[in-house]
Amino acid sequence: MSPLKHSTLETTRAKATPPEHIGAYFENLEKAVALHMLQDKAELIYNTKQA
């Protein structure tokens, strides 16, 4: 079994993800941003890598 390239894996995951899941993600993101009052504080939003 050969390892897939990172970009190939991302593309495969993106194609396999149902649109409903993507919509739900953005709905949850919008709620979280509103809950923490971050609408005009984009500089405070960042992503961290999980180990």
In the predicted model, is pLDDT for residue 37 greater than 90? yes
Average pLDDT of the segment spanning 9-23: 91
pLDDT given for residue 7 in this prediction: 76
- Maximum distance among all Cα pairs of the chain, rounded to whole angstroms: 47
**C-alpha–C-alpha distance, residues 31 and 28, integer Å:** 5
Average pLDDT of the segment spanning 7-23: 89
- 47 vs 31, which has greater pLDDT? 31
Q: What is the dihedral angle through the alpha carbons of 12, 16, 20, 26, rounded to the nearest 10 degrees?
A: -10
Average pLDDT of the segment spanning 7-27: 91
